Amino acid sequence: MDRVALRGLKARGHHGVFPKEREEGQTFVVDLVLGLDTRPAAADDDLAKTVHYGIVAEEVVAVVEGEPVDLIETLAERIAQACLKHEGVQEVEVCVHKPDAPITVPFDDVTVTITRSRA
């Protein structure tokens, strides 16, 4: 299976279990790896035979900016399901970063990574 990756998609969302997170929102960063067969697109040099990563990026940002959820696990699942709606995408790895998580000790990042497939 071939891979198409999008790294560092940024969007502001209001996800989290604390009222301040829901009210003020924060930046989330998403990395995606889409698994698909790119040979048909490469053979014909045809965008219609692969995944349009620009559209995927817009949809992922819309999920992050959309309905708030408590957990980034839930957010990652919603993003994965949006990606799998694209014909040809057989598998997706989603990593959601929450760099401004409300943690009381110094840290660089908090992430949740999931892998989902059609099978």
Q: Catalytic amino acids?
A: 98
Alpha-carbon distance of 4 to 8, in angstroms, equals 14
Q: How far is CA 109 from CA 50, 52, 95, 118, in A?
A: 32, 29, 12, 29
Residue identified by tokens 């760099």 is 99
Q: Which two tokens stand for residue 3?
A: 């891979």
Closest CA to 28 of 56, 85, 68: 68
